[in-house]
Each structure stands twice: as C-alpha cells, then as structure tokens.
Amino acid sequence: MSATLLLAALAMYTTLAPWWGVWRALPPALACLATGALAALRWHRRQPAFLEIGADSLTAWSRDEVCVAAGQLVGASQWGGWLLALVVEAGARRSTVLIAADSVSPDTFRTLAVRARSAAGR
C-alpha cells in the first residue's frame, strides 16, 4: 500500500511541477501522501481483528477494541475453502465481514461456514 501512496504523490508532483515549479508543487504532493497515509492507517485499524461467535450472532472487534459489526447472521457466501463473506444485521444496518480461511483456525472457519449456511436458509 505504501508503494501505491508514493506513486500517487509522485504522479501529482510530476503533473504540477511543470506548471507551478519544483518547490511550489512539493507541498500538494506531500499533502496527498499524508492524507493517503492517514486514510490507510484508519482503514487498517477498522479491520476486524477479533471475532466473538454467539449462538445466532457474530461480533467483530477492531484492534482498537471498537465494535465493527455486531448482530445476527442473515446470509453468507463461501468461495471454496478459501473465503467466507458473512452478512451481519443489527436493526436496519447491515455489515459484511470477509474472513479468509488462513486468518482463523480450521475449526473456527468450519463453524462459521456452517452457521452462515444455516442463517442463510432461514
């Protein structure tokens, strides 16, 4: 991701430098880099890091211990044994949680897949 941010800042710099000059094009390019880095950091911190599995519910917590998704499982899609997309509904709000098979233990992945299939069948 850092290479993409650097490439975007460099593209902005090379676009502005011929018109504005070398030194006047530098602050907007650095601002682009800083904004992208802050957005990437926020995105990374909002990713689910911990799952709490209930009988009919799922709660996903971020690394900052902020609840990202909580509610009842209402649907799912599974792509082979590799990826599981869970739809969690709490009231009128729906959240999708993507779980890669290698990010949790095989038993946890299997449990989530079975619960998601039974939730989708309701």
What's the number of domains the chain is made of?
2
Q: CB of 16 within 8 A of CB of 29?
A: yes
Q: Provide the whole-model pTM.
A: 0.60
User: Which domain does 65 fall in, by range?
Assistant: 48-121
Query: Same structural domain for residues 54 and 29?
Result: no
- Whole-number Å distance between alpha carbons of 102 and 100: 6
Last residue of a domain, one of 30, 45, 60: 45
Strands of the sheet with 93-100, listed across from one edge: 48-53, 57-62, 67-79, 83-90, 93-100
**Cβ neighbourhood burial of 119 (10 Å; 0-12, 13-18, 19+):** buried
Q: Please give the single-letter amino acid code of residue 20.
A: W
Query: Same structural domain for residues 74 and 110?
Result: yes
Query: Same structural domain for residues 60 and 91?
Result: yes
pLDDT tens string for the chain (122 positions)? Answer: 789 999 999 999 999 999 999 999 999 999 999 999 999 998 888 888 888 887 777 888 888 888 888 888 777 777 777 888 888 888 888 888 888 888 888 888 888 888 877 776 66
Query: Same structural domain for residues 30 and 53?
Result: no
